[in-house]
Structure 1
Amino acid sequence: MWKWEAEGQPKAVVAIVHGAYEHHNRYAWLIQKLRNSNFHVVMGDLPGHGAQTGRNVHDEKFATYTEYVKELLKIGIVDGLPLFIMGHGLGATLVMRVLQTEDIICAGVILSSPWLQLEHQPSKYAGVLTKLSSSMKINHNINVELLTRNYDFYIEARDDKNYSSVVTAGWYKELQSYMKTVNQHEGSIRNVPVLFHTGGHDKITDITASKNWLLKQQLTEIQYKEWPKLYHDVYQEPEQEEVFLYTESFMHSALRSLGYIV
């Protein structure tokens, strides 16, 4: 895990949990934008992800992901500053589960494109996954063209050797169970401000399922933003500056409500 310090006097800390198959380097632009706006950022790579593992098939246990998120949040509170938790894709789902099971105190939560119900399945095995050996490899086939319309990001991601959507059948079965658990959890997360981003043209997830989850929470302050043209990776889209400004405004509002002068 790494920490990037704010360019000026820090307002708060943002802990970021990235999505499935990717790694922290894909968030370099967002990290720098947050630093420029005087936020510390803490982030790392999920277990089994990134350059340090040298692996290209995901078979990690989801319990290790959950423990990773808990450790990340512990690092986020070390400075004694307000903490914002940001999760994208599967990372958003992991954050949602930790918020369901742990009493996390934070200034706000930002979730984008959570995985609660997938529209994009591994096509070749979609109907027979439950019959496959747990160790059998399958390709989820989530390529960059499904994630964003940003051509510049296509170029950047083309030679990314640390991105792989190959998983074992066992991993994919556990993913399905994990999403179901988060979706069907009784009760609400802690009453904190929540910002929820979805892309109107998300090709990976069913955004209706995500919206329904949010509406079930007993929260007094929620912002739900569906970006009409955007794909799954809202912070990588050509409109990323607009998405960031919307997020920054949410965080400033949450800080003011806590009595901080922004």
Structure 2
Amino acid sequence: MWKWEVDGQAKAVIAIMHGAYENHRWYAWLIEKLRLEGFHIVMGDLPNHGVNAKFSRVHDEDFQTYYKYTKHLIENAFSYNLPVFLIGHGLGATLLLQAMYKYKYECAGLILTSPWLNLKLLPGKLSNALTSLSALTANMKLTHAVHPNKLTRSVEGKEEMKDEVSFKSTVSVKWYRELQQMMRQLILMPKVEFPTIPVLLMTAEKDAISDSKQARHWLNQQDLSEFQYKEWANCYHNLFHEVEREEIFMYTRDFINNALRRIGYIIE
């Protein structure tokens, strides 16, 4: 777990959850932008991602390790005794939803980008309509063809995805079954179970990875007193790596500042 703190008094704390196959280094731009706006940042790498990947070439980790990590990350953010915002992307957004349903954290706001509630891009053998997930053995390996070219149109964004941590998107059938189970549970969860906190959900018009319609449907089913939905035209899956990310960042910043104003903070 890493922390980036502002000089002087922070306005709030923001915990960031990256997506599947990514690591925290991809978010250096977003972290610095938020820190310069007066927010402490807390972030780490999901189990078997980034510096935690060690020598593994396959994602076969138990999802319980993801749930424990998510809880640990959020509780680290709350340790500052400041308003807490959560930002989650892709699988990270889905894990935040799971944590909010279970623990009902009293966050100042939740920001979700391209959450995984239904996938358009399926792992290798599953792209064949004749292949049943139940027919595959748990330890069989599947290649999930998530490549930078499908994540962003931005040359700069793609460069930020290159680092010393190798990008691996091979998963076991067991891992994918757990992912499918989590997504189904969230879609079917009663709306009364979700806490009434401000939610900003942003999707990408040309997302080839996750289903934006399912994400919007989930939001519309919730009994929220305050929420925003924004679909960014022409954008790919990774919004904070896209050509329009400055505009996307300002939209996110305004949501956070407005949420702080509503709970009595004076934002300059």
TM-score range, shorter chain: over 0.9
Alignment match, 2:109: 108
Alignment match, 1:86: 87
Alignment match, 1:134: 138
Choose the corresponding residue for 1:192, options 197, 207, 210: 197
Alignment match, 1:210: 215
1:171 equivalenced with 2:175 (yes/no): yes
Structure 1 residue 64: Cα displacement: 1.2
Structure 1 residue 71: Cα displacement: 0.7
One-letter amino acid of the counterpart of residue 259, structure 2: A
Alignment match, 2:42: 42
Equivalents in 1 of 2:120, 2:29: separation in Å?
Answer: 28
Considering only aligned residues, what root-mean-square deviation do their CA atoms show, in Å? 1.3
One-letter amino acid of the counterpart of residue 21, structure 1: Y
1:240 equivalenced with 2:233 (yes/no): no
Contact kept? 2:46, 2:52, Cα under 8 Å: no
Alignment match, 2:266: 261
One-letter amino acid of the counterpart of residue 169, structure 2: S
For these two proteins, the number of residue pairs brought into alignment is 262
Alignment match, 2:234: 229
Scaled by the length of structure 2, the TM-score of the pair is 0.94
Structure 1 residue 38: Cα displacement: 0.6
Equivalents in 1 of 2:42, 2:134: separation in Å?
Answer: 37
One-letter amino acid of the counterpart of residue 197, structure 2: V
Equivalents in 2 of 1:240, 1:147: separation in Å?
Answer: 13
1:32 equivalenced with 2:32 (yes/no): yes
One-letter amino acid of the counterpart of residue 216, structure 2: K
Alignment match, 2:52: 52
| Bigger Cα displacement from structure 2, 154-163 vs 219-228 | 154-163
Q: Deviations over 1:86-144 (max 9, x none)?
A: 11000000001111111201100000000001000124333233211111111101000
Contact kept? 1:7, 1:35, Cα under 8 Å: no
Alignment match, 2:255: 250
Runs of 4+ with >4 A deviation: none
Using the aligned pairs only, state the percent identity.
46
SS of the residue corresponding to residue 171 of structure 1 reads: helix
| Bigger Cα displacement from structure 2, 186-195 vs 126-135 | 126-135
Contact kept? 2:93, 2:115, Cα under 8 Å: yes
One-letter amino acid of the counterpart of residue 30, structure 1: L
Scaled by the length of structure 1, the TM-score of the pair is 0.96
Equivalents in 2 of 1:159, 1:77: separation in Å?
Answer: 30
